[in-house]
Amino acid sequence: MKIYHLSHTDLDGYSCQFVSSFYLKNVEFYNSNYGKEIDKKMSHIISKIGDEKAVILITDLNLTKAQCQSYQDQLKNKDVKLILLDHHQTGAECAAEFSWYYLDNARSATKICYDFFSAIFGKDERLGAYCDVVNAVDIWLKNDPNFELGKVCMGAIAGAKEINKVMFEDEHIEYIFYLMRSFCEFLSLNNAHIELDNRLHGIKKEFFYLKNDDTLSNLNSSYLVRRLEANKDKFSINYRGSKGILTYNIGSASVIGNDFLVANPEFDFFIDMTSKKTMSFRSNGDFDVSQMAKELCDGGGHKNASGGFFAGFVDSYNYDEIKSQVVNLINKKTGEL
């Protein structure tokens, strides 16, 4: 039986998935902020379910009554069990009306999730201790002895931007779980919050480490270049007969773009589209991205490093939708419709 777990994009939301990954197999993980993104992710999940039995688990996200009714109606002819575990009081009306909507505002969603699964499959001392740390910071128990460690964990997850989740959803959740497993190593230490804070940079480097030590930026770039190389067909685009790669909110576009182009000389240019509608253009060699930037978005800059603003860009949670907009822009501006 397939399990689809949709959760929030903070420490509490990811920790719910960390708990379910401990107890369950055959789980696909999805993450969302509130509002329309939930509908987008749920539509994607529901579209993947055929005639097989499945469970959709939603954690640390409160829904509107309209969303609850819509999801329930869409699933009425499928063999799917819907479960929601949450702690936001704004979901009280939904919890009163829908039997699959469980709400308890006295515990974090992670604590609810752990108590739910451990009652079925058995307790785990270390996992339970980690969930207590998340609980302390998420519902802001300032006098709880776990509170300070929870603050460090919360900041670490909020700052875990090294792998973009729109482009690399599976790798992103793998990285988040790696960090959480590392957090568990500090649970029994004196001044655990200080020890973890001191070690965080090294912990991050260890995830990206392959052969030789380097700066976190360079290790991260090498990792992302390898992931881009493994998915060249998905991320490649064309412009006037030249071949390029399109990324989204990749971060450090100059470093990653140059590293990718050096390692993959068959590509002429590198574009990073951002949620702020900006476009970063990079090349390595004779290809002039300043002319490309000028034609596509009235931008410009240097021959190998330019930028522009795509005013008509509509941000999306789906890479294919992002790529489609950039491809359409290229086709429109170059007349290659």
Under DSSP, the state recorded for 159 is: T
Give the chain's domain count. Answer: 2
In a domain, 94, yes or no: yes
As a dihedral over the C-alpha atoms of residue 204, residue 205, residue 210, residue 213, rounded to 10 degrees, the angle is: -170
Residue linked to tokens 């990792």: 223
In a domain, 222, yes or no: no
CA 117, 135, 87 angle in degrees (round to 5)? Answer: 70
Ramachandran bin of 252, using left for φ above 0, alpha for ψ from -120 to 50, beta for the remaining angles = left
As a dihedral over the C-alpha atoms of residue 58, residue 173, residue 256, residue 233, rounded to 10 degrees, the angle is: -80
Let me know whether 129 and 237 are in one domain. Answer: no
Residue linked to tokens 């970063």: 280
Cα–Cα dist 15/321, whole Å: 29
How many Cα atoms sit within 13 Å of 194 on the Cβ side?
2
For position 298, which CATH number holds?
Answer: 3.10.310
Judge whether residue 36 has pLDDT over 90: no
Let me know whether 17 and 125 are in one domain. Answer: yes
Q: Of 131, 156, 181, which residue sits at a domain end? A: 156
Helices (H), the chain: 11-23, 36-48, 65-74, 92-97, 109-121, 125-138, 147-158, 169-184, 192-208, 216-230, 232-235, 253-263, 289-297, 319-334
In a domain, 255, yes or no: yes
In a domain, 168, yes or no: no
Let me know whether 146 and 260 are in one domain. Answer: no
Let me know whether 8 and 148 are in one domain. Answer: yes
Judge whether residue 138 has pLDDT over 70: yes
Q: Of 156, 172, 204, which residue sits at a domain end? A: 156
CA 136, 140, 145 angle in degrees (round to 5)? Answer: 40
Let me know whether 138 and 279 are in one domain. Answer: no
In a domain, 73, yes or no: yes
Let me know whether 123 and 27 are in one domain. Answer: yes
For position 137, which CATH number holds?
Answer: 3.90.1640.30
Q: What is the pLDDT of residues 157-206, one digit of tens each?
A: 999 999 999 999 999 999 999 999 999 999 999 999 999 999 999 999 99
Cα–Cα dist 303/289, whole Å: 5
Let me know whether 6 and 151 are in one domain. Answer: yes
In a domain, 312, yes or no: yes
Sign of CA dihedral 90, 94, 100, 105: positive
Let me know whether 152 and 237 are in one domain. Answer: no
Domain that holds residue 98: 2-156
Exposed e or buried b per residue across 93-103, where buried means at least 16 C-beta atoms within 10 angstroms of its C-beta: ebbeebebbbb
In a domain, 178, yes or no: no
Type of residue found at 61: L
Let me know whether 148 and 255 are in one domain. Answer: no
Residue linked to tokens 């992103």: 172
Q: What is the pLDDT of residues 227-240, one digit of tens each?
A: 999 999 999 999 99
Find, among 247, 243, 281, the residue nearest to 264 by Cα: 243
Strands 101-103 and 2-7: unpaired
In a domain, 140, yes or no: yes
Q: What is the pLDDT of residues 258-309, one digit of tens each?
A: 999 999 999 999 999 999 999 999 999 899 999 999 999 999 999 999 999 9
Let me know whether 103 and 246 are in one domain. Answer: no
Mean pLDDT of all residues in 198-216: 95
What percent of the chain is predicted at pLDDT more than 90? 94
Let me know whether 6 and 152 are in one domain. Answer: yes
Q: Of 113, 130, 156, which residue sits at a domain end? A: 156
Let me know whether 243 and 144 are in one domain. Answer: no
